[in-house]
Every structure is written in structure tokens, then in C-alpha cells.
Structure 1
Amino acid sequence: MDIASLSMAMGTSNVNSDVGIAVLGKNLDTLKQAGDGMLKMMESSVTPNLGQNIDYSA
């Protein structure tokens, strides 16, 4: 294999690697946003005063 073709192969490999890393980064951002949204939804569904007072009579 000559140096020119080796250089092209390595360049292609670096580009593929960079694209893969960029896609994974975007996916991580999307998952973080989905997790934040789910956390907000779970926090809003909880009744904050539930269980603080007990009504009792004998």
C-alpha cells in the first residue's frame, strides 16, 4: 500500500469517527432533554402535602 492511499484511508477513518462521535453527542443531548422532561412530569404529578396531616377521631 502506498502512502497516498494509506493517507486517504486514515482520513476517511477519522471522518467516520468524528461523525460517529457527533451523532452520539446529539443523542446524549436528546436523552438528557427527555430525562429532564420526565423528571418535571414526575415532580408535577406528586401531591406535595399528601401525608403531612392525619385526621383522627376516637
Structure 2
Amino acid sequence: MDIALMSMVLNQSQVQQQASISVMKMAMGNAERQGEAVQKLLSTNNVAAIEHAAQPHLGGNIDMKG
């Protein structure tokens, strides 16, 4: 393998590593924001809001027989 080819391969692997690190940092930031949102939701003491967030489709309709 000549030096130019080795240099290109090394540079490409460095770029791939930097891209992977950037994606990982974005994912970590998203996970942190989601964790903060869950903590905020749990600290509100509003049980109805927590139940609605967990199962938003429940309680929207009432079946009545006449």
C-alpha cells in the first residue's frame, strides 16, 4: 500500500469517527431532554396528566345506552 492510499484511508476513518461521535452526542442530548421532561412530568403531582400522557386514547368517549 502506498503512502497516499494509506493517508486517504486514515482520513476517511477519522471522518467516520467524527460523524459517529456527533450522532452519539445528539442522541445523548435527546435522551437527556426526554429524561428531564419525564422528571418534570412526575414532579407535577398531577395524576390525571400523568395518566393521560401514558394512555391518551382513554377517557375521550362515553358509550351511552338509551
For the aligned pair, the TM-score class normalised by the smaller chain equals 0.7 to 0.9
Aligned residue pair count: 47
User: What is the deviation of 1:46?
Assistant: 5.8
Q: Which amino acid aligns with 1:31?
A: A
Q: Does 1:29 find its partner at 2:32? A: no
Moved segments of 4+, more than 6 Å: none
Distance 1:3 1:27 in 2: 36
Q: Which residue is 1:13 aligned to?
A: 13
The higher radius of gyration belongs to 1
Distance 1:45 1:22 in 2: 36
What are the ranges of 5 or more consecutive residues in structure 1 without an aligned counterpart? 48-58
Quick one: higher RCO (CA 8 Å, sep 6+), 1 or 2? Answer: 2
CA-based RMSD: 1.4
TM-score (norm 2): 0.68
Identical residues among aligned pairs (%): 26
Q: Which residue is 1:55 aligned to?
A: none
Deviation digits for residues 22-54 of structure 1 (CA, Å, limit 9, x no counterpart): 00000000000000000000001368xxxxxxx
Q: Which residue is 1:51 aligned to?
A: none
